[in-house]
Amino acid sequence: MYIHQNEFFYNTFDGCTLYDVDNSTISENRMAYNQFNGMQLAYGEFNEFVLNLFQENKNYGLKLGASDYNSIHHNTFFDNNLLGYDNGTVTGYAQGYDTTLTNLWYDDTINEGNWWSDWGGMGSYVLDGGGPHNEDLYPLGAPPVPPMIAEYSTNIMLILIPTLFVPIALISYRRKKR
């Protein structure tokens, strides 16, 4: 399966929940402003998450539970879980959550991970959920792609079109005047 270029905004629970999904590519999706997690994967194996935007979700941008051998890299995690997730026993402040030890939060062939808005710039990025391997060993210093949410891209076009049109109209007006 290929889950590509979807938007999951302002949902009252998770933006998107994937259950028992295997061998899939999840790319160029945008999960933002959801009341729980941006995306949650439960019981999924051998999936690749790449070039996704997880932005300002109340809890985790991406939460993996009982999911093994997934690859998560070159994603943008921006201001998720700012208030801290509290499940009654553990409070965590990371933007990602992983309960297993077999997922890679970086591309192990080129040693590049994800961009985290709250990463301090040194060392790895530690995820909530347990184990010693639950970390991005190679966080990126800048987002891999500019995080652009569709509602803003429309507004940019509304600004750019008149800005380009006005100089052309002025030149045309001056030529007619001569």
Specify burial of residue 133 (Cβ count, 10 A radius: 0-12, 13-18, 19+): middle
DSSP state at residue 117: T
Residues 109 and 169 placed together within one structural domain of the fold: no
Q: Identify the weakest region by mean pLDDT among 88-92, 93-97, 125-129, 165-169.
A: 165-169
Question: Residues 168, 123: one domain?
Answer: no
Claim to verify: residue 66 and residue 81 sit in the same structural domain: yes
Residues 75-101 have pLDDT tens digits of 999 999 988 877 666 678 999 999 898
Same domain, 106 and 165: no
Note if the pTM is more than 0.75: yes
Q: Are residues 53 and 87 in the same domain?
A: yes
Print the domain residue range for 164: 148-178
For residues 130 and 177, membership in a common domain is answered with: no
Is it the case that residue 64 has pLDDT exceeding 70?
yes
- Check whether residue 53 and residue 134 sit in a common domain: yes
Q: Report the alpha-carbon distance of residue 107 to residue 138 in Å, rounded.
A: 9
Q: Are residues 7 and 63 in the same domain?
A: yes
Q: What is the pLDDT of residue 30?
A: 96
The residue among 81, 80, 63 whose CA lies nearest residue 72 is 63
Query: Same domain, yes or no, for 135 and 156?
Result: no
> Is residue 20 located within the same domain as residue 76?
yes
Same domain, 13 and 54: yes
Q: What is the pLDDT of residues 19-34, one digit of tens each?
A: 999 999 999 999 999 9
The DSSP-derived string for 122-158 is SS-EEPBSS-TT-EESS--SS-SS----HHHHHHHHH
Instruction: Say yes or no: 54 and 80 in one domain.
Output: yes
- When divided into structural domains, the chain yields a total of 2
